[in-house]
Amino acid sequence: MMKNICELLDIKYPIIQGAMANISKAELVAAVSSAGGLGVIGSSNNNKEWVRNEIRKVKELTDKPFGVNILLLSPHANDIAELVIEEKVKCVTTGAGNPGPYIEKWKEAGIIVIPVVPSVALAKRMEKAGADAVIAEGMEAGGHIGRMTTFALVPQVSDALSIPVIAAGGIADRKGALAAFALGAKGIQAGTVFLATKECPIHENYKNIVVNAKDTDTVITGSDQAPVRVIKNQMAVEYIRLNKEGASFEELEKLTLGSLSKAIYDGNLNEGSFMAGQISGLVREIKTVKEVIDEFVIGFTTYKESLEIL
């Protein structure tokens, strides 16, 4: 019998907080892990010392397991891949690439490896390479996205693999949690809903932009190779216009450079890049991390009960 997500990670609920660049730092990660889920540090493009510092801070704030996400596009990916072994982190998740070359070393070190996959093909390769589970993330998600929707991706990946699948993209409440299980997932990952929490260390404007967004308020920016979902604002519209007109990489970069920091730290509504998923429209108030987790758990209980009835 395959291990369930809670046994695999030694956590209470199969809820993973999706890594968010420069957002899921020690404060949020420790809060999620303390509430019974798995908090995950978003390494993003930060260097080894930055990530080590966040890991140490989480260890001071909680004795519960947590994870580190490695952005495989980052110039520091190799360094962080070593760091997680040095710091004996419980779990590594990866994004935006194929972590195949690292998996054997991580498994030797006893780390639980959970790559994000945008397709059945990569999911199968990850299972073969020794991954413990995969996160099947649909393009409803915020930030860098693939091309499949959660509803189509999760059941196909679940059918193709014998390791557990975690659903991500478009999950923000009990209904989403329940639906994920119906699609064959054994756990969920959520990012957007954790933006609108008291513990999330971002500018209040970022939280409010998510709370006030409606269903159709996100757009896809970024290049064709690396599409990025953000909340529609002046910056996003300008980016899409320039990209359509065939602007150079340099011109586009000038626009995006620092835009994430402008969102996270300055709350700059016009020039910031506010990454968030399509489910933002469902997020209507700022809650505590514990309230978000408790909401998801109601979805899981509904599923359990329905199994018992039939």
Question: Which residues of this protein are in contact with ligand TUI, per CB under 6 A?
Answer: 21, 44, 71, 95-98, 116, 118, 122, 137, 143-146, 222, 226, 228, 275
β-strands 227-231, 143-144 pairing: antiparallel
Distance of closest approach, residue 256 Cβ to ligand TUI, in angstroms: 7
Residue 268 and residue 146 in contact, taking contact as beta carbons nearer than 8 Å: no
CB of 243 to ligand TUI, least distance (A): 13
Indicate the residue among 14 and 42 with the shorter CB distance to ligand TUI.
42
The DSSP line for 247-301 is --HHHHHHHHTTHHHHHHTS--TTT---B--GGGGG--S-B-HHHHHHHHHHHHH
Cα 300 to Cα 63: distance, rounded to the nearest angstrom: 25
The CA distance from 166 to 40, in Å, is 14
Nearer to ligand TUI, 23 or 183 (CB): 23
* 3 state SS of 115: strand
Cα Dmax for the chain: 59
Nearest CB to ligand TUI, comparing residues 224 and 285: 224
Nearest-approach distance from CB 100 to ligand TUI, in angstroms: 9
Q: Which is nearer to ligand TUI, 118 or 176 (CB)?
A: 118
Least distance in Å: CB of 118 to ligand TUI? 5
Q: What is the dihedral of CA 118, 119, 125, 130, to 10 degrees?
A: 50
In the bound state, the residue with its beta carbon closest to ligand TUI is 143
The two structure tokens encoding residue 244 = 């359509």
In whole angstroms, how close is the CB of 283 to ligand TUI at the nearest point? 18
Please, which residue, 51 or 297, has the CB nearer to ligand TUI? Answer: 51
How far is the CA of 139 from the CAs of 119, 154, 183, 238, 295, in angstroms? 11, 12, 16, 22, 23
Q: Compute the half-sphere exposure of residue 90: CA atoms within 13 Å on the CB side of its CA.
A: 21
Least distance CB 20 / ligand TUI (angstroms): 7
Work out how close the CB of 257 gets to ligand TUI at its nearest, in angstroms, rounded to a whole number: 11
Least CB distance to ligand TUI at residue 93 (A): 9
Cβ-in-10-Å burial (0-12, 13-18, 19+) of 172 comes to buried
44 or 268: whose CB is closer to ligand TUI? 44
Q: Which is nearer to ligand TUI, 222 or 299 (CB)?
A: 222
Catalogue the long-range contacts made by 145-148 (C-beta closer than 8 Å, 24 or more residues apart). Answer: 145/118, 145/169, 145/220, 145/227, 145/228, 145/229, 146/118, 146/119, 147/118, 148/118, 148/119
Residue 21 or residue 112: which is nearer to ligand TUI going by CB?
Answer: 21
Q: How many CB atoms lie within 10 A of CB 212?
A: 13
